């Protein structure tokens, strides 16, 4: 699925392009399902161009069967059921992936669920545990608790014995977040999350904030942070700029960081995938972590899938079905 010019969900159109051939260290995946993510929406709107060398077709995570391997790839990867983090090209019948960015799909997991995992798992692992230095027994505040990122962050943090505070925009979403394991779910439309965090933590604050909003949320997030707390930004849905009180930040020795995963090098993503395979993938295999599925759309209805994401009513992951599982 492609488009001629950026715009609303209606700009998508089907197109035929040659099936790509895998290069060195690459595999060709016959796509079964593809995850839909906020960066796909921003790309379609014209604000998030793919990195150099990446496919212009949207889609950052896929699941399917390896049907060809390039030079340097072990031949036993052929016919393997995998899910993969990709830099683009997921909304298609075939997609290239770096072999080291693929994870073998457990038998119990269907391909729709598998396609809903890589982008959120890679993002949360890197930003909460590597950049945010989260540790057992600490407290995490994650905004958008029922988004794909939010649902993954709640489950992953609870798996590592963290206390989780989250925000959501309705009582229904707060209830869903609590069912996933959130210790406190705050309706940001009716409650002041800064005050609620202070009450919940008895004034101490949280150790890590995973921020997808930015803008005027940043200072409020810092007000929620404990001494030596870490603030990690992964999206700027509420605005590109923030005004903060540096004196408060210094007095509490707080740290601020952020990242975007898509433009990082293949080598970095391979190292990240290896760490996830060793430390987080066993949690997927035993279903300690399972993707929360919102709705599956046929690839031909990608416009409707994007409209649902933009509408904000979804709980969990939106996925595109490209073909029947073989």
Angstrom CA distances, 250 to 134, 210, 225, 245, 259, stand at 20, 20, 12, 9, 22
So where are the chain's domains? Answer: 9-117+262-321, 121-258
Per the CB < 8 A criterion, the answer to whether 115 and 35 are in contact is yes
pTM for the predicted model, two decimal places: 0.93
Return the ∠ at Cα 34 (arms to 213 and 273), rounded to 5°: 75
Nearest residue to 120 (alpha-carbon basis) of 141, 147, 102: 147
Quote the pLDDT of residue 158. 98
CATH number at 121-258: 3.40.50.720
Q: In a structure prediction context, what are the per-residue pLDDT tens digits for the chain, which is 326 residues long?
A: 889 899 999 999 999 999 999 999 999 999 999 999 999 999 999 998 899 889 999 999 999 999 999 999 999 999 999 999 999 999 999 999 999 999 999 999 999 999 999 999 999 999 999 999 999 999 999 999 999 999 999 999 999 999 999 999 999 999 999 999 999 999 999 999 999 999 999 999 999 999 999 999 999 999 999 999 999 999 998 999 999 999 999 999 999 999 999 999 999 999 999 999 999 999 999 999 999 999 999 999 999 999 999 999 999 999 999 997 65
Query: Does domain 9-117+262-321 match CATH 3.90.180.10?
Result: yes
Q: How far apart are CA 85 and CA 120, in angstroms?
A: 10
Hey, do 9-117+262-321 and 121-258 end up sharing a CATH topology, with the first three levels equal? no
């Amino acid at each position: 699925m492609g488009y001629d010019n950026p715009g609303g969900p209606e700009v998508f159109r089907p197109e035929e392009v040659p099936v790509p051939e895998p290069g060195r260290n690459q595999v060709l995946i016959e796509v079964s399902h593809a995850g839909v993510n906020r960066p796909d929406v921003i790309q379609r709107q014209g604000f998030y161009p793919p990195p150099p060398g990446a496919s212009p077709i949207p889609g950052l995570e896929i699941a399917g069967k390896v049907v060809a391997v390039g030079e340097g790839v072990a031949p036993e990867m052929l016919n393997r059921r995998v899910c993969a983090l990709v830099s683009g090209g997921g909304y298609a019948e075939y997609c290239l992936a770096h072999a080291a960015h693929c994870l073998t799909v457990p038998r119990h997991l269907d391909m729709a669920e598998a396609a809903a995992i890589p982008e959120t798992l890679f993002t949360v692992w890197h930003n909460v545990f590597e950049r945010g230095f989260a540790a057992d027994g600490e407290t995490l505040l994650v905004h958008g608790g029922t988004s794909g990122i939010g649902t993954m962050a709640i489950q992953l943090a609870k798996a590592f014995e963290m206390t989780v505070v989250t925000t959501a925009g309705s009582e229904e979403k707060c209830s869903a977040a609590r069912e996933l394991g959130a210790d406190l779910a705050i309706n940001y439309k009716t409650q002041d999350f800064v005050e609620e965090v202070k009450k919940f933590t008895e004034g101490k604050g949280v150790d890590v904030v995973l921020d997808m909003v930015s803008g005027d949320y940043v200072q409020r997030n810092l007000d929620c942070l404990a001494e030596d707390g870490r603030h990690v930004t992964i999206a700027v849905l509420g605005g590109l700029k923030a005004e903060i009180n540096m004196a408060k930040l210094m007095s509490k020795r707080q740290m601020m960081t952020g990242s975007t995963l898509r433009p990082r090098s293949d080598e970095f993503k391979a190292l990240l995938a290896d760490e996830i395979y060793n430390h987080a993938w066993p949690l997927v295999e035993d279903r300690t972590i399972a993707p929360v599925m919102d709705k599956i759309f046929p690839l031909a209805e990608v416009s409707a899938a994007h409209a649902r994401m933009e509408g904000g009513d979804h709980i969990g992951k939106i996925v595109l079905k490209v073909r029947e599982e073989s």
